[in-house]
Structure 1
Amino acid sequence: MFVNAALAALPAIGFAMVFNVPGRYLWACGVAGSLGFLVRESLLALAWHAALASLIAALAIGALSAFWARHYRAPMQLYAVAAAIPLMPGHDAFVAFNAMLELLLQGYQPELWITVVGRGLQSVFVVAAITLGLTLANLLYHRRQ
């Protein structure tokens, strides 16, 4: 799990570079991305729901980003947005999209429809939880200022 968490730093740093984060802050994006991934995977290993685990992980990313924002006098979003990328539900969205294409090609099949709705809603709830977690952390950070 720790190796996967360390590897989760790579997409966080890569997207931080795409978002034009200054080079001196790239390490922080990687650490926050690794932390969020480790928190979510730990909670998933304890059989938590994926959306709730993603919410807690996004709150952890937000808390760490708020600390660094205060310490380095940089915007909190500088760290948090890129660090949340490894939490995105790519596999669930991919499976839902493929099942939707199969529905279009083969016609209605109950198994495919269940896959589309189940995996699609799972993806929507996870993305909403990540958004809510980062937003709550941002609101709490600005409330204390």
Structure 2
Amino acid sequence: MEWIVFFETWIWLGFAATGFAILFNVPPRTLWVIFIMGALGGTVKLICLKLGMNIILSSLMGALLIGFLSIRAAHLRHSPPFVFAIPAVIPMVPGAFTYRMMLGIIHLTGENDHAVFLQLLQETVDNGLKAFFVLSALSLGVSAPMLLSRNKSIKETKPNKFLNKLFDSKKASD
């Protein structure tokens, strides 16, 4: 039964990424790649959460996968990497934490009891910081692979070139 839920979640993550891609008017030839990337990135996040990682690191892992896959997809589909990465990562945005933070701010404005006010303030700040750090992890995870592997132009970069340089410099230092 758990595999059915896992597969259903995978499908919905892919559809959400594809929906944002259509909203952003990306080329139709990129839609199936965005579907797969969104599903894989969100699934990695969910698996990491299931394994006990916190939401921030789980989001970073999913976004890093999307970042690296978008570099490869850019070469295969002849489009900029952000065409693939941004719609694929949007389903991982922490809407619930942001919503709870905004609701907490609204409740704080009308609260007169000091003890309840402090409890609401603590929950609001907690939700706001979680949302901030998850968004930071998503942006870092998507952009870091592209920044690290970029030399001049995306057409001139080879994802393996960066990895070869990285491993060759380790061998030289040993």
Spell out, residue by residue over 1:64-95, the C-alpha distance to the aligned partner (whole angstroms, 9 max, x if none).
11111112221111100000011100011111
2:141 aligns with 133
CA displacement 1:15-36 (0-9 Å, x = unmatched): 1111110112111111111111
Runs of 5+ in structure 1 lacking a partner? none
Gaps of 5+ in 2: 1-5, 158-174
Match of 1:54 among 44, 55, 59: 59
Aligned to 2:172: none
Q: Is the 8 A contact 1:39 1:57 kept in 2?
A: yes
Question: What is the Cα deviation at residue 59 of structure 1?
Answer: 0.6
1:90-121 deviation line (CA, Å, top 9, x unaligned): 01111111111111122451221111100100
- The answer to whether the aligner puts 1:21 opposite 2:26 as a matched pair is yes
Give, in whole Å, the separation in 1 of the partners of 2:56 and 2:128.
Answer: 13
CA RMSD of aligned residues (A): 1.4
| Superposition TM-score, scaled by structure 1 size | 0.94
Distance 2:139 2:145 in 1: 10
Asked if the contact 2:38/2:89 (under 8 Å) is kept, the reply is yes
- Structure number with greater CO (CA < 8 Å, separation at least 6) is 1
Contact 2:97 2:131 in 1 (8 A): yes
Structure 2 Cα separation of the partners of residues 104 and 46 of structure 1: 38
User: Secondary structure at the residue paired with 1:47?
Assistant: coil
Task: Work out which of the residue numbers 15, 25, 36 in structure 2 matches 1:10.
Answer: 15
Could you tell me the TM-score, scaled by structure 2's length? 0.79
Give yes or no for contact 2:30–2:77 (8 Å, CA) kept in 1.
Answer: no
1:35 aligns with 2:54: no
CA contact (8 A) 1:65 1:77 kept: yes
SS at 2:80 equivalent? coil
- Tell me if the contact between 2:17 and 2:89 (Cα under 8 Å) persists in the aligned partners: yes
| Paired-residue identity, % | 32
Cα distance in 1 for residues equivalent to 2:119 and 2:43: 33
The answer to whether structure 1 residue 82 and structure 2 residue 87 are counterparts is: yes
CA contact (8 A) 1:96 1:117 kept: yes
Runs (4+) of structure 1 exceeding 6 A deviation are: none
Q: Contact 1:2–1:38 at 8 Å: present in 2 too?
A: no
